[in-house]
Structure 1
Amino acid sequence: MTVTRPDVSASSRTSSAVRVRLLENDDLGELQALIAADPIVNAVVAARLHEVGDLGDAGLSGSLIGVEIGGRLVGGCFNGGNLMPFCPDPRAVAPLAHFLADRPRICSAVVGRREVLTPLWSVLGRSWSRPRLLRPQQPLLVVSSVDAAAVDPQLRPATAKDLDNYLPAAAAMFTEELGLSPFLHMTRAAYRERLGSLVSARRALLLNDVNGHVIFKAELAAVSPDTCQIQGVWVRPDLRGQGISGPAMAGVVQYALRLAPSASLYVNDFNIPARRLYERLGMRPVATLTTILF
């Protein structure tokens, strides 16, 4: 995917003490410290930095924008397919918002702490197009242990042989969660390739029925030094409420904890059955996220 980098030569509506700019490799140490201050919320950005180690690497699939106040980095965002702000200092939010509002939107979603996204969107919402969906409250949950006796032993990483059966399940989850088909903006071959990269990395987990059809799936969206973020949890609709998800999710958490010291995920506040399941697994809330989808 070609990512448009922001025109950092343009002035932003900030005071002379504040600077908003594209971050470079010289900023990496300060950036990593900022990300590490909120490691569960910033898991996706932390994982990408850990994987590439170079802010100019194409594998980053986006750019990193920083807000400096008095010469010190106090906030910023990852700007790519997702816009993910990290602003532990609330003074960073307004200049970042005005900087982004002056430029074309390139993301399909904005995800971050609710207390950051609320003021950020109060500015961006006046310049960017109307969002398709707004998920204002999504508890971010974390766990660092799991009862091995609760794990479904049939849960396993998907292999290349599973891909043809895994794809319809992944597409069904995508459509149910996001309200549109993944094939609206990409070909089936491109979507299969994206799933294939997860499968080859052993980050797609599944349960099959006796006919080899997927009845449960989950993916590991990001693996950082601090956490493994789980996404795309799905149970085949006709089998929901039959006790499949509990042991399967315990297995996902167990697998994730082999890769990082904690497992995390965020869930829609209105998804009460899922929230109860995660509570039974010992997952505790550490933040509330907001997601804005275009």
Structure 2
Amino acid sequence: MAKMLSRVAPWLASHKDGPAPDGATVRVLGVADTRQLRELAENDPVANVFILAHLESTDSAAPTPGGANVLGVFDDDVLVGACWAGANLVPVQLDPELAGPVAAAAHRSGRRYASIFGPAATVLALHRHLEELGHLAHEVRADQPLMTITGPPAVEPNWQLGFGQYADFDAILPACAAMFEEEVGYSPYLGGRDFYSRRVAGLIRQGHSLVHLKDGEVVFKAELGAVTAEVTQVQGVWMNPTHRGLGLSAGYMAAVVLLAQKMAPVTSLYVNDYNSRARATYERVGFRQVGTFATVLF
């Protein structure tokens, strides 16, 4: 632990929320912590694209108006790990040994989390501690290859794919909802339609929705769920069931890569290990595994 601590930059400490191993403490980060959080996350810009995208858009580590915050773990005023705590828990350079106090702090907030996602060892450690605190998972996806591509794709792109337009929102939203339900097993509209609709609309307005429509219906779509100047993370890949099995996916994914590279040089995604067909498509396009994620669904 001491060797790990010596490699990270100094942090400005404030109040302490709770104890952690080896004298470390956990607290909610504030505005003054922004630079150091960014430096921590930049140790792995692919794995940490979620928090880096948040920092690029807000330039602040402080709690959001919606109540999300970042839990920081410190030792002798040095940041040794962090974890986004909003609708989801997303660890940032967090050693699995420090998962216990972070899970305890997340539990004390009283918030219900939809998921944990990120590097597998830490996600699974957080899950174990949260389970002891009564947070029971709906599903654990323990092995999700994290893949990236730089440079041109290895197959010809299908340029019927383009950036989604808000005029097509009424066609894009049902496709997004169908993908979500296939992926997690329940409707994104549970508890109300407005939140998910705003999320999809926001992606379209940001230019992060990629879609091919034919006769007013989505054939293929994907989103850039997190975007920084270095990395994009592709999410929500979905093919209309009437077009599956025709060998179209690789061409669409090649177009996704080239469109994503207009924003950042590295295109990333993570995929369930058991989805052999999708993995084969991504590898054919040129994606290669650089790590392993896990997702816990509550």
Q: TM-score, normalised by structure 2?
A: 0.89
Closer, same or farther: CA 250–11 of 1 in aligned 2, 3 Å: closer
Of 220, 226, 243, the residue aligned with 1:216 is 220
Tell me which amino acid in the other structure corresponds to 1:113: P
CA contact (8 A) 2:29 2:63 kept: no
1:114-167 CA-to-partner distances (Å, cap 9, x unmatched) read 111222222111113311121111111010122486111111111122111111
Per the TM alignment, residue 101 of structure 1 is displaced from its structure 2 partner at its CA by: 3.7
1:215-266 CA-to-partner distances (Å, cap 9, x unmatched) read 1000010111321000000001121110221111110110111101100001
Q: Which residue of 2 aligns with 1:241?
A: 245
Closer, same or farther: CA 134–15 of 1 in aligned 2, 3 Å: closer
Closer, same or farther: CA 214–59 of 1 in aligned 2, 3 Å: farther
Moved over 6 A (4+): none
Closer, same or farther: CA 212–87 of 1 in aligned 2, 3 Å: same
CA contact (8 A) 1:13 1:98 kept: no
> Is the deviation greater in 252-261 or in 93-102?
93-102
Of 54, 76, 85, the residue aligned with 1:79 is 85
Aligned counterparts of 2:49 and 2:36: Cα–Cα separation in 1: 17
Give matches, 1:252-271, under 5 Å. 252-271=256-275
1:31-81 CA-to-partner distances (Å, cap 9, x unmatched) read 111101111111111100111102336378621110001221000100001
1:157-200 CA-to-partner distances (Å, cap 9, x unmatched) read 1112211111111111011001001111222x443332111111
Q: Which residue of 1 aligns with 2:70?
A: 64
Closer, same or farther: CA 246–195 of 1 in aligned 2, 3 Å: same
Q: TM-score, normalised by structure 1?
A: 0.90
Give matches, 1:13-24, under 5 Å. 13-14=19-20, 17-24=23-30
Q: Which residue of 1 aligns with 2:171?
A: 165
Aligned counterparts of 2:190 and 2:94: Cα–Cα separation in 1: 36
Give matches, 1:19-98, under 5 Å. 19-56=25-62, 58=64, 62-98=68-104
Aligned counterparts of 1:203 and 1:83: Cα–Cα separation in 2: 22
Aligned counterparts of 1:56 and 1:117: Cα–Cα separation in 2: 23
Q: Which residue of 1 aligns with 2:120?
A: 114
Pair 1:195 & 2:200 matched: yes
Closer, same or farther: CA 60–85 of 1 in aligned 2, 3 Å: farther
Per the TM alignment, residue 212 of structure 1 is displaced from its structure 2 partner at its CA by: 2.3
Aligned counterparts of 1:191 and 1:92: Cα–Cα separation in 2: 33
Aligned counterparts of 1:33 and 1:60: Cα–Cα separation in 2: 25
CA contact (8 A) 1:52 1:59 kept: no
Q: Which runs of 5+ in 2 are unaligned?
A: 1-13
CA contact (8 A) 2:161 2:255 kept: yes
Per the TM alignment, residue 89 of structure 1 is displaced from its structure 2 partner at its CA by: 4.1
Of 280, 291, 296, the residue aligned with 1:287 is 291
Q: Which runs of 5+ in 1 are unaligned?
A: 1-7
Pair 1:227 & 2:231 matched: yes
Aligned counterparts of 1:57 and 1:19: Cα–Cα separation in 2: 18
Closer, same or farther: CA 158–59 of 1 in aligned 2, 3 Å: farther
Aligned counterparts of 1:134 and 1:25: Cα–Cα separation in 2: 34
